Amino acid sequence: MESYIGQSVNRLDAKDKVAGRAEYGADITFPGMIYGKTLRSPHPHAILKKIDFSKAKKLKGVLTVLTANDVPGLNRHGEFIPDQPVLVQVGDKVRMIGDPVALVAADTEEVAEKALDLIEVDYEPLGVVGDIESALEPDSIRVHDECEGNVCGFPWYFERGDVEKAFAEADVIVEEVFNTPRQEHAYLEPESGVANINSRGEIEIYAAMQNPSYFQFSISKILGCSAHKIHIISPLIGGSFGGKCDISLHAHLALLSLKLNRPVKMVWSRKESFLASPKRHPTRIHHKMSATKDGRITGLKVDFIMDGGAYASHSPVVLIAMGGSFPGPYDIPNIKIAGKALYTNNPISGAMRGYGLPQAVTATECQIDALCRKLKIDPFEFRIINALVAGKSKPLPYLIEPIPFISLDSTVTLPQTLMKAKEIAGSLKKPSAEYKRTGRAICCSMPLFDVSAMPVFGMMGTNVSVEILPDGSAMVRSSAVEFGQGVTTVLGQIAAEEFGISLDKVNVVLGDTRTTPKSGATIASRTTYCCGNALMQAAQKIKAILLQEASDLLEAPADILFMKNNRVYVKESPPKGISMTELSERCYNKGINLKSESWFTTNHAGFGHTFMSKIADVEVDIETGKVEVLKLITVHDIGKAINPQLVEGQLTGGKMQGLGYVLMEDMITKKGGILTPSLIEYLIPTVEDLPEELHNILVEEPYPTGPYGAKGVGEFGLDTVAPVILNAVYDAIGIRFTKFPLTPQRVWEEIQKKQKDSNGEGIDGSM
Amino acid sequence: MPIELKINGRIYQISVSPRKTLLQVLRDDLGLTGTKEGCGIGECGTCTVMLNGKAVNSCLIPAIRVAAWEITTIEGLSDGESLHSIQESFIRHGAVQCGFCTPGMIMSAKALLDANPHPNREEIKQAISGNLCRCTGYKQIIDAIEDASKK
Amino acid sequence: MILPVFKYKEADSLPEALSFLCQHKAKAKIIAGGTDLIVQMKKKEISPQYLLGLQNITELKEIGYLSNHSLKIGTLATLSDILKFPDLETEFPILVEALRHMGSVQTRNLATIGGNICNAAPSADIPPPLIVLGAELKLRSIYGEREVKIEDFFTGPSRTILNEDEILTEIIIPLSPPRSFGRYIKHTVRKAMDLALLGVALMIAWKPEGICEKIRIALATAAPKPFKVPRVEEEMEGKEINRRFVDVVSQIVFDEASPRSSWRASAEYRREMVKVFTRRILLEAMEVISMQESKCPSN
């Protein structure tokens, strides 16, 4: 193969996965393994008065019952605010349905389940903070007694210019309140795992997670023991999308296993996963935007509130990410944005693909569409007029000091992606029935990817190691985890390319605190960029050593040598060379180290950016309210696609998840209880919901600091799907939806209102 | 209750409680963990196996009811290192991401192609509409099955 | 998820099954395909002492035409078996429409027609088409056999007239007359694997001159049970099929439907959709009529 970079090579983990050999948490067994179950609160808010587990303990086969008293260390976890109990203490409060109260271990899963029914718990129910509105009430019940106004962390605020003056001088202003739904990750693999005490008395936890080092650190505090005795090992992960960032069953597994000195397995049911795992934040966004009559945005003012649920999880950071995402890829002189995350007795909100951006761009892009309608300016033109331009625009304010501004240091421009999208969009279909309407819209965004590990995640850098073995094969080690995105394959391709060895000679070992260096969390669309760069640095060190050795041997200067086809050749006279096997073996015999670990960090920016444009065509049945997506086009500035098939997989998968978000997904709660606790109630798209046409266009202009020019991609397929569909629906029927998902009933109700208001005049999207 | 299960051409003589589903027997008693549990109530398709040639949810079937039936699981498709053409096609087309839905998805595809060797894309979609996938967006899966049907 | 404790009995013949039921009555529950029953048991909504399997009784799976111009479907025929039966698409398109959109391939391969009927969910897709087709059910007990019209079978959500010792053995569906048209529309949020927000089954037969000879409408999720709208037949048979006919029928169905509100959809929306889909099916019927009779029905 000429080069491994830019090739859609087969995934390195695919063979095991199609053969059914791939091992996930629930597939792991150990001799003598027992089963654990969690007793959860049925109340959204209550004082835990008493737990009586005497009957449960007497049940044959029950080995132990644990409560908060059995947590040896800190009974709290949470990456940013440690406010979540491992097990709720008697006398303390349960703050959501599903809060863990006790743990049971038994010989079989069945006995463990039965034992849960025998534990008697007394609760004193308290008033419930069921939504943003009740959390905001001046004399609202507090979810966390110490948090005034139910504010989680600190409110976030940013101001630039004079927005009130901009509004006073504006030609047009649009103002709207948006409400976004609670989205569930709905990865196909519910949480599962095994903890085991090894022969050296150390604890090993095998369970899906997105950041082994954080888990090691946090669980050591919970267990009250030193981190070096705790090993976190991630098996393959059956989907994550941000939902496996927080500690779920890991600490529970560790507690049971330590108590009994036996391997313990826990597998959550789907319902348990829905109850206890974090969700995408429901938000209420008050959004106001102004423009001049020639189409320049002059002011943006946003007040937004997020329903953070019972515990902080990632709320404090999603808040900042969301706040920073409102301006989008546009140059806006006057900005005032304020937001806060509130505690409620709802399921926890946390990290999910997009991390605050999907909600923000939904509001901004719908408002831009409204401005275009008012000004009668073509939405393409409007976005081109206002696009951020490298070197010309003011740097975008993002996050808080001391995190630097994002840098606009790539050559691709927003208009470039816009024009490309327009080029391939073709024409909008005519409606297929007299009771249907079709519409089209365009949306843009500027999603960011982490380029050095945000300090909020505890590290400003990424460690990856590479080792050439005596036979010339390579071992790559990183604590990144594989949840389907393809990190195994991308790192493999990079190593193969660097050493000129074939891909089958590369082994990529991931997500294991025993053996892999700290690569930070596998989040924020950062892994290809950060781990890729770290790997290249490490590889280059070893490469220099190998080439020096080869140079001595081949009697040719190192700078005319090249590595290809598992050999080192002399340029100009290729037959002259040495195999990697021979060369490596020689190095080992001479006592030369062929392992290198590299710490990658940047000092120029906290985030890299990409530009993205999407076009969607929809058809709306105005009698039933049913929305059908006909076409969904994405143009994405990828820098360089190291593996185009994997990039397409991220974009297509993200888009379907986005279509679910805007069309059908809503984890509906009432007084803290989930009304949609299964996959036939909480609906995610099936194959039948795939639009007729779905294209991904990659704009490839190498990003100067990316590995081979690559940028991030993981989250971006999803980002602007909601607004592009909402705006296309507006184009079709002339109704601006500020709430979604667009279930048939919701759409139908608005159509009814419009028909009433317009005295039976037609429904269409004309301006 | 002692029963005989015929799985992937092999006879297993085991004793199971009538309360155990086929899925539990496959995974817990026989160690055939390729078949996954995503919901336990027939709403996701990750537990799909073939029963007398038809795709079914193994989480909905008490194992004692299928004694003597022909059961095929994902482990029965490949022969050592040599994969079935559908499995090969899934790899080639990038139809696999996290892989958790993959075994069930492939079993649905196998049942389809056994009954209808040359399906059109609409028929492929119908055949896998009971298999949820949260990673791929399905497009590559349809491509993979279509391509496998042409081999 | 673990099933609650039960004893399993596989009956080898119908008499054996009937006497087992007679002996254990409410303590026993028949397991047909199990796709609903096992879920209910896993969720601990029911926990019968005995499960009675009938899968060895092959006669209960038979599908075939009877001499009196009707189709007999054995209670244990799976939805897939029925869909595969030759000519079903031409003879009973309305049934095919209902079956095709039920559950998933995997559940259709297990679920039986008898199970779907006896489970008596208000959202069940099979009863409305069978009601408009005029299907009859054969119920057997140790004491004998009775035949009932399917529309009389349901008494409420999950409730039917089936006695504790009875088994639904056969479904008999008369063939539709040549001048007839039927459709079942299932309205859902998601295209596949979803429950009906609403289902409308409509069957209409006409005379050559475009007069309505017979009309039957039945609804899913529009009442606590699968629901037939008798007022339509009482008032509309014998009338000319035209635009006005369509409007009147749609209005009657709207008036008669009594859906409830749930988080899935409001009663108001469901009622409106009953009207929309009734009208759509009738308009389609008018086109078919005009094509078949090669003349436009007058307005």
Query: A414-442 pLDDT, tens per residue?
Result: 999 999 999 999 999 999 999 999 999 99
Chain C contact for B108, CB < 8 A?
yes
pLDDT (tens digit per residue) in B88-102? 999 999 999 999 999
Q: What is the pLDDT of residue A66?
A: 98
Contact at CB, B78 and A19, closer than 8 angstroms: yes
Strands A279-280 and A264-267: unpaired
pLDDT over 60 (residue A189)? yes
pLDDT (tens digit per residue) in B23-45? 999 999 999 999 999 999 999 99
Chains near C (3 or more Cβ pairs under 8 Å): A, B
Please tell me the distance in Å from B68's CA to the nearest CA on chain A. Answer: 23
* B50: chain A residues, CB-CB within 8 Å: none
Interface probe, candidates B134, B143, B146, chain A, greatest A C-beta count within 10 A:
B134
pLDDT band at A556 (very low <50, low <70, confident <90, very high): very high
Please tell me the distance in Å from A676's CA to the nearest CA on chain C. Answer: 9
pLDDT over 60 (residue A458)? no
pLDDT over 60 (residue A724)? yes
Edge to edge, the sheet with strand A93-94 lists A93-94, A46-52, A120-125
Please tell me the distance in Å from C276's CA to the nearest CA on chain A. Answer: 7
Percent of chain A past pLDDT 70, that is, above it, reads: 95
- Residue A585 phi, psi (nearest 5): -60, -40
* B33: chain A residues, CB-CB within 8 Å: 20, 23, 26-27
pLDDT band at A409 (very low <50, low <70, confident <90, very high): low
Please tell me the distance in Å from B138's CA to the nearest CA on chain A. Answer: 6
Would you say A516 and A462 are in contact if contact means Cβ atoms under 8 Å apart?
Answer: no
C-alpha A164/C-alpha A336 separation (Å) is 9
Q: What is the pLDDT of residue A454?
A: 57
Please tell me the distance in Å from A653's CA to the nearest CA on chain B. Answer: 4
* B51: chain C residues, CB-CB within 8 Å: 109
Residue in chain B lying closest to C195 (CA): B43
pLDDT over 90 (residue A400)? no
pLDDT band at A456 (very low <50, low <70, confident <90, very high): very low
Q: What is the pLDDT of residue A665?
A: 98
Residue in chain C lying closest to A691 (CA): C191
Q: What is the CA radius of gyration of chain B?
A: 15
Q: Which residue in the set A15, A237, A686 is minimally distant from B98, CB to CB?
A: A237
Would you say A68 and A86 are in contact if contact means Cβ atoms under 8 Å apart?
Answer: yes
Q: What is the pLDDT of residue A405?
A: 46
The residues, ordered by sequence, that sit 6+ positions from B120 with a Cβ below 8 Å of its Cβ are none
Please tell me the distance in Å from C85's CA to the nearest CA on chain B. Answer: 15
* A187: chain B residues, CB-CB within 8 Å: 98, 100, 134
Average pLDDT (A543-563) is 95
Contact at CB, B100 and A239, closer than 8 angstroms: yes
CA triple A312-A314-A315, angle to 5 deg: 60
Would you say A326 and A337 are in contact if contact means Cβ atoms under 8 Å apart?
Answer: yes
Q: What is the pLDDT of residue A58?
A: 98
The residues, ordered by sequence, that sit 6+ positions from A438 with a Cβ below 8 Å of its Cβ are A428, A429, A430, A431, A617, A618, A619, A620, A630, A732
Contact at CB, A685 and C265, closer than 8 angstroms: no
Please tell me the distance in Å from C4's CA to the nearest CA on chain A. Answer: 10
pLDDT over 50 (residue A748)? yes
Chain C contact for B41, CB < 8 A?
yes
Q: What is the pLDDT of residue A764?
A: 79
Closest Cα partner for A488 from A1, A23, A10, A3? A10
Window 621-650 of A: residues touching B by CB (8 A cutoff) are 645-646, 648-649
Chain C contact for B38, CB < 8 A?
no
Does the global pTM surpass 0.95?
yes
What are the Cα distances from residue C155, in Å, to A31, A161, B47, C150, C159? Answer: 53, 69, 35, 11, 5
Contact at CB, B43 and A655, closer than 8 angstroms: no
pLDDT band at A391 (very low <50, low <70, confident <90, very high): low
**Host H or E run for residue A597:** strand A595-600
Window 192-251 of A: residues touching B by CB (8 A cutoff) are 236-241
Interface probe, candidates B57, B69, B73, B114, chain C, greatest C C-beta count within 10 A:
B57
Tokens read off for A474: 């390579």
Strand partners of residue B4: B13
pLDDT over 80 (residue A765)? no
Q: Which residue in the set A269, A668, A683 is minimally distant from C189, CB to CB?
A: A683
Of A149-153, A571-575, A618-622, C259-263, the one with minimum mean pLDDT is A571-575
Q: What is the pLDDT of residue A411?
A: 79
Please tell me the distance in Å from C7's CA to the nearest CA on chain B. Answer: 7
Interface probe, candidates C123, C189, C262, C276, chain A, greatest A C-beta count within 10 A:
C189
Q: What is the pLDDT of residue A401?
A: 36
pLDDT (tens digit per residue) in A30-60? 999 999 999 999 999 999 999 999 999 999 9
* A109: chain C residues, CB-CB within 8 Å: 2
* B134: chain A residues, CB-CB within 8 Å: 185-188, 239, 241, 653, 657, 684
Contact at CB, B129 and A188, closer than 8 angstroms: no
Q: What is the pLDDT of residue C116?
A: 97
Q: What is the pLDDT of residue A407?
A: 57
pLDDT band at A653 (very low <50, low <70, confident <90, very high): very high
Q: What is the pLDDT of residue C298?
A: 46
C-alpha C243/C-alpha C246 separation (Å) is 5
The residues, ordered by sequence, that sit 6+ positions from A339 with a Cβ below 8 Å of its Cβ are A155, A156, A157, A302, A303, A304, A305, A306, A319, A322, A323
Average pLDDT (A552-575) is 91
The residues, ordered by sequence, that sit 6+ positions from C132 with a Cβ below 8 Å of its Cβ are C94, C182, C201, C202, C203, C216, C217, C218, C228
Interface probe, candidates A37, A619, A745, A749, chain C, greatest C C-beta count within 10 A:
A745
Contact at CB, A744 and C187, closer than 8 angstroms: yes
The residues, ordered by sequence, that sit 6+ positions from A184 with a Cβ below 8 Å of its Cβ are A274, A277, A279, A280, A665, A667, A682
Contact at CB, C7 and B18, closer than 8 angstroms: yes
pLDDT (tens digit per residue) in A464-499? 999 999 999 999 999 999 999 999 999 999 999 999
Q: Residue-wise over A127-164: b if at least 16 C-beta within 10 A, else e?
A: ebbbbbebbeeeebebbbeebeebbbbeebebebbebe
Q: Taking chain C (299 residues) in consecutive chunks of 10 residues, what is each chunk's mean pLDDT?
A: 93 97 97 96 95 96 93 98 94 96 96 97 96 98 97 96 97 95 97 95 96 97 93 96 97 96 95 98 96 63
pLDDT (tens digit per residue) in A593-604? 999 999 988 765
* B18: chain C residues, CB-CB within 8 Å: 6-8, 51
Closest Cα partner for A716 from A622, A648, A765? A648
Q: In 3-state terms, what secondary structure has residue B135? A: coil
What share of residues in chain C are helix, strand, coil (percent, to 5)?
Answer: 35, 25, 35
Of A317-326, A395-404, B75-84, C113-122, the one with minimum mean pLDDT is A395-404
Average pLDDT (A290-306) is 98
pLDDT (tens digit per residue) in A633-652? 999 999 999 999 999 999 99
Contact at CB, A188 and B136, closer than 8 angstroms: no
Chains near B (3 or more Cβ pairs under 8 Å): A, C
